[in-house]
Amino acid sequence: MRARVYVTLKPGVHDPAGTAVQGGLVSMGYEEVRSVRIGKFFEVEVDDDLSAQHAGGPRARLEEMCRKLLANTVIESFRVELL
């Protein structure tokens, strides 16, 4: 099974790189761009048989992976999509 994980900065966390990209877009003529926030996107492939051995199902496992490693929950939120 495949999953998609989106990790994004929480509101209020400064994103200097996103601000730089926004400034770049505006200077290219895309003056309508008010803000850019850069996040991370993970494509994860999960072995179905191994996954079935864990209670709670693949979503619970993936969310645990997010809390432990893929996101730093001090500053980031995450969203898991099972495909």
- Under the rule (CB under 8 A), what is the footprint of another protein? 12-17, 20, 69-70, 72, 74-75
Considering the complex, what minimum distance in angstroms separates the CB of residue 33 from another protein? 18
Considering the complex, what minimum distance in angstroms separates the CB of residue 70 from another protein? 7
Q: 20 or 52, CB closer to another protein?
A: 20
Q: 28 or 74, CB closer to another protein?
A: 74
Rounded-to-integer distance, Cα 63 and Cα 71, Å: 10
Q: Check the CA dihedral 27-29-31-33 and report its sign.
A: negative
Q: 74 or 83, CB closer to another protein?
A: 74
